[in-house]
């Protein structure tokens, strides 16, 4: 293992300290708990709270989206491990402004189970809750079993759109409905070129040959659809987009937002090359792109590879996507 870290067991807490040292004017820990980050942004009384949680190792997911126009709170566990239900419950209660809290999460067993228990605890404390689960990864299950799909980078669109809806003082049910609508219209798929190493494990999460690429691999190293010989940027773009559009048909005149997300070790130039071909393919189909997102939004430590997410927009989703947002790791200004 060759990493710029100190002690593996201290990795997550030291990262959390570093985030607070850098952005302490905008973020804070809940009662000194280094695993629970809350926004310092001023919000209106009665605004629906918006929270998420998950394992560390995916920065800027999940922590990076706490701030103005997006999440009110986030709690994380160890690398690729869910935080506890009690920490989730503490976060939910802290983010209630009087009209309840929406919990947005990826479709992973530990996260679901702990959020369900946390919501029960919060409800006993008088905090209404709703859960919306991201299932955007088309490679993880066929369309007939879409309820089993993993939640990956596409959930960031839900953070953004639901955050804007909450800022407009919509009700808890309305914010949950809009978050679900965003996710219902979002599909993602990724490819991996190399594994990552969890600091406390000290060994690669999987093996792949130097001249190979794995199609559809998950952000924790979950197996993909197939392993192929290395593809060009254009071939990667075509392969991913073809799979997404088979699952989410779009028509001439439709408008989408596209996210090309680096998994941790992929140069921005390479992401731009993939976006170039995605743009050309969609343009040839009469589909326009609004607010492209290109960069690192949901990583997997130092894994090399990328994912593509596509959200089909209507007037409502487009307006909410465009609404102001500003967190330490995200701004809608340059999107």
The C-alpha atoms of residue 60 and residue 315 are separated, in whole angstroms, by 28
CB neighbourhood size of 217 (10 A):
30
The C-alpha atoms of residue 189 and residue 205 are separated, in whole angstroms, by 19
Tell me how far CA of residue 275 lies from CA of 137, 250, 307, 309, 322, in angstroms.
18, 18, 11, 11, 20
Q: Does residue 251 carry a pLDDT above 90?
A: yes
The C-alpha atoms of residue 205 and residue 197 are separated, in whole angstroms, by 6
Q: Which of 285, 293, 312, 241 is nearest to 60 (CA)?
A: 293
Residue with tokens 């809350």: 38
What is the predicted pLDDT for the residue at 205?
Answer: 87
Average pLDDT, the chain: 97
265 confidence band (pLDDT: 50, 70, 90): very high
Percent of the chain at pLDDT > 70 equals: 100
The mean per-residue pLDDT over the stretch 256-263 comes to 98
DSSP 84: P
- Burial, 97: exposed, middle or buried (Cβ in 10 Å; 0-12, 13-18, 19+)? middle
pLDDT tens track for 181-206? 999 999 999 999 999 999 999 999 88
Percent of the chain at pLDDT > 90 equals: 97
What is the predicted pLDDT for the residue at 173?
Answer: 98
Residues with catalytic roles: 58, 220
Q: Which of 32, 36, 322 is nearest to 165 (CA)?
A: 322
What is the predicted pLDDT for the residue at 180?
Answer: 98
DSSP 69: T
- Would you call 135 helix, strand, or coil by DSSP? coil
Q: Does residue 334 carry a pLDDT above 80?
A: no
Tell me how far CA of residue 74 lies from CA of 198, 207, 229, 246, in angstroms.
21, 32, 39, 34
Query: ∠ at Cα 60 (30, 264), nearest 5°?
Result: 145
The C-alpha atoms of residue 174 and residue 185 are separated, in whole angstroms, by 17
Token couple for 34: 């280094």
What is the predicted pLDDT for the residue at 221?
Answer: 87
Q: Does residue 335 carry a pLDDT above 90?
A: no
Q: What values do phi and psi take at 282, rounded to 5?
A: -65, -40
**CB within 8 A of 293, min separation 6: which ones?**
156, 257, 258, 259, 260, 261, 309, 335
The C-alpha atoms of residue 34 and residue 240 are separated, in whole angstroms, by 37
Q: Does residue 1 carry a pLDDT above 90?
A: no
pLDDT tens track for 85-135? 999 999 999 999 999 999 999 999 999 999 999 999 999 999 999 999 999
């Amino acid at each position: 293992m060759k990493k710029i870290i100190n002690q593996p067991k201290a990795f997550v807490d030291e990262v959390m300290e570093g985030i607070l040292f850098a952005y302490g004017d905008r973020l804070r820990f809940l009662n000194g708990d280094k695993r629970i980050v809350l926004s310092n942004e001023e919000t209106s009384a009665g605004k629906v709270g918006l929270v998420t949680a998950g394992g560390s190792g995916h920065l800027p997911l999940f922590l990076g989206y706490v701030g103005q126009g997006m999440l009110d709170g986030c709690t994380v566990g160890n690398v690729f491990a869910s935080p506890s239900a009690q920490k989730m419950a503490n976060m939910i209660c802290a983010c209630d402004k009087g009209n309840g809290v929406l919990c947005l999460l990826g479709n992973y067993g530990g996260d679901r189970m702990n959020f369900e228990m946390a919501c029960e605890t919060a409800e006993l404390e008088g905090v209404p809750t709703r859960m919306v689960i991201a299932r955007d990864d088309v490679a993880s299950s066929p369309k007939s079993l879409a309820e089993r799909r993993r939640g990956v980078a596409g959930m960031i669109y839900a953070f953004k759109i639901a955050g804007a809806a909450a800022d407009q003082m919509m009700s808890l049910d309305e914010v949950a409905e809009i978050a679900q609508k965003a996710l219902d219209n979002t599909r993602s798929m990724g490819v991996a070129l190399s594994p990552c190493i969890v600091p406390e494990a000290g060994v690669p999460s999987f093996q792949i040959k130097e001249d190979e690429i794995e199609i559809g691999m998950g952000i924790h190293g979950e197996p993909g659809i197939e392993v192929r010989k290395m593809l060009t940027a254009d071939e990667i773009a075509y392969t991913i987009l073809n799979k997404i559009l088979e699952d989410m048909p779009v028509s001439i005149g439709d408008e989408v937002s596209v996210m090309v997300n680096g998994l941790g070790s992929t140069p921005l130039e390479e992401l731009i090359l993939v976006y170039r071909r995605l743009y050309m393919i969609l343009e040839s189909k009469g589909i326009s792109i609004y607010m492209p997102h290109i960069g690192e939004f949901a990583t997997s430590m130092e894994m090399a590879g990328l994912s593509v997410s596509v959200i089909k927009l209507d007037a409502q989703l487009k307006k909410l996507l465009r609404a102001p947002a500003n967190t330490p790791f995200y701004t809608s200004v340059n999107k």
